[in-house]
Amino acid sequence: MIPVQGLAGSRVAVLGLGRSGLSAALALRAGGAAPVCWDDNPQARAAAEAEGLACAPFKSAQAFEGIARLIVSPGIPHLYPAPNPVVAFALEAGVPVDNDIGLFFQSFATREWDNFETMPRVVAVTGSNGKSTTSALIHHILEHVQRPCQLAGNIGRGVLDLEPAVDGEVVVLELSSYQTDLARNLTPDVAVFTNLSPDHLDRHHGMGGYFAAKRRLFAEGGPDRAVVGVDEDEGRFLAGQLSQGPTDDRVIRVSVERKLTGPGWQVFARKGFLAEYRKGKQVASIDLRAVAGLPGAHNHQNACAAYAACRTLGLAPKVIELAFHSFGGLPHRSQTIAEANGVRFVNDSKATNVDSAAKALMAFKNIRWICGGLEKEGGLEGLAEASASVRKAYVIGREAAGFAMQLNVEAEVCGSMEVAVARAVAEAEEGDVVLLAPAAASFDQYDSFERRGEDFIAQVRAIIDR
């Protein structure tokens, strides 16, 4: 645990007692603060009280008298579409609002660092798609070279559940827009922006607010190095804002759509090959086509971003290449779960929006596509070009019929995962890929995209293991 610094002796309110909220409350107490907690869920409150934490509701602005700060869990809105009432009371009372990410950055460095030979560093990764894989890949590469490292944030552990840093350690954080939008302190050493596509638009009041939330990771703390995907206008704009000129190698531009040229520092992938250019000259190349854990252009983008981040940490290209080949990928992200009778089964339940599903579709050929769920804003038009390799779609979800009508491929309304998998397996031929890439949220039928992916795996196993 990382004890929170700077709030000793203060009363601090904590709203939301899930993974991040509970760990924040415990870290506040470890740092000498007095947390006062609340969650509308009685079970969450009971878990906090079992840890010896005080729980009390905040029903008015007056309830914040004597409170130094309000710590809010990521899922709780603080501005759009409307502030949570407790957040509104805090703002009315003039109490600063923060989250566990802000607490982490104000507390990570300690006096013990004065005795270290190599200062610990933080690599923070954000973006619409690929940030989990990119973060996990960076962490995997660091483990491969036996460098002390920890992985946390929107993946795995809460940031305040990390152990205090040791000499030369690297902490890799995956940060969502919900986390970067509110944190009062954002000071990574290396910041990574993978890409941007429409998502969480109600929470951020549109694309401008969504991009602004991501941009804060770069604008608030001024990282020493910035790795920026430049295949969208927003990425190109961000790279331009951070750079002092064409030769400024503090900004590393990343692309999977075109060769990048110029006197700066670029990493790009074309036709399955990653290339690194510095000062107009190629300095490294990696063949990504044989890297089983990183299939498709979207994963090649993740590879480029992770490669660039690791290069800023002083790792050699050949070392990074070796680590790529031992990376197994993440569950529910282009995860090959089985092969039977010449048919490959791939679980990409994390493809919860149109852009991520389109990238999954472009990674394979001869696809039996399982899709559908709770449709997000913007419709499904972005899937039209990507679905050229789809032989047939098998649509799940409570609104499967309406979802199917928007697709430009042959589609069968299945409703449940069990029916969809059974129909796809029955019709699949040798060389086909049965791909779960829903292009929708899971909450109409499942608690999470993980549960949806687990159901897909279970249904596949039930058939092929007969």
Is the predicted pLDDT of residue 156 greater than 80, yes or no? Answer: no
Taking Cα atoms as reference points, which of 254, 251, 253, 196 lies closest to residue 222?
A: 251
CA distances to 5, 132, 393 from 198, rounded to whole Å, are 36, 17, 23
Q: Which two tokens stand for residue 147?
A: 């460098």
Predicted local confidence at residue 423, as pLDDT = 98
CA angle 267, 271, 274 (to 5 degrees): 25
Domain 105-325: give its CATH code.
Answer: 3.40.1190.10
Q: Is 127 annotated as a binding residue?
A: yes
Question: Distance between the two ends of the chain, CA-based, in angstroms?
Answer: 46
Q: What is the pLDDT of residues 310-368, one digit of tens each?
A: 999 999 999 999 999 999 888 898 888 999 999 999 999 999 989 889 989 998 999 99
What is the spatial distance between Cα 352 and Cα 438, in angstroms, rounded to a whole number?
6
Q: Is 130 annotated as a binding residue?
A: yes
Q: Is 132 annotated as a binding residue?
A: yes
CA distances to 275, 367, 390, 414, 427 from 363, rounded to whole Å, are 20, 10, 11, 24, 21
> Could you tell me the sign of the dihedral formed by the alpha carbons of 191, 259, 294, 460, in that order?
positive
Q: Which CATH architecture has domain 11-98?
A: 3-Layer(aba) Sandwich (3.40)
Q: What is the pLDDT of residues 60-77, one digit of tens each?
A: 999 999 999 999 999 899
What is the spatial distance between Cα 146 and Cα 152, in angstroms, rounded to a whole number?
18
Strand pairing category for 367-371 and 433-436: parallel
Q: Is 129 annotated as a binding residue?
A: yes
Q: What percent of the chain has pLDDT over 90?
A: 87
Q: Which CATH superfamily is domain 335-464 in?
A: Mur ligase, C-terminal domain (3.90.190.20)
Burial label, 122 (beta-carbon count in 10 A; 0-12, 13-18, 19+): buried
Q: Is 131 annotated as a binding residue?
A: yes
Q: Which two tokens stand for residue 311?
A: 């290069």
Q: Where are the domains of the chain?
A: 11-98, 105-325, 335-464
Q: Is 356 annotated as a binding residue?
A: no
Residue 406 is given by DSSP the state: T
With beta carbons less than 8 A apart as the criterion, state whether 360 and 329 touch: no
**pTM listed for this prediction:** 0.86
Q: Is 353 annotated as a binding residue?
A: no
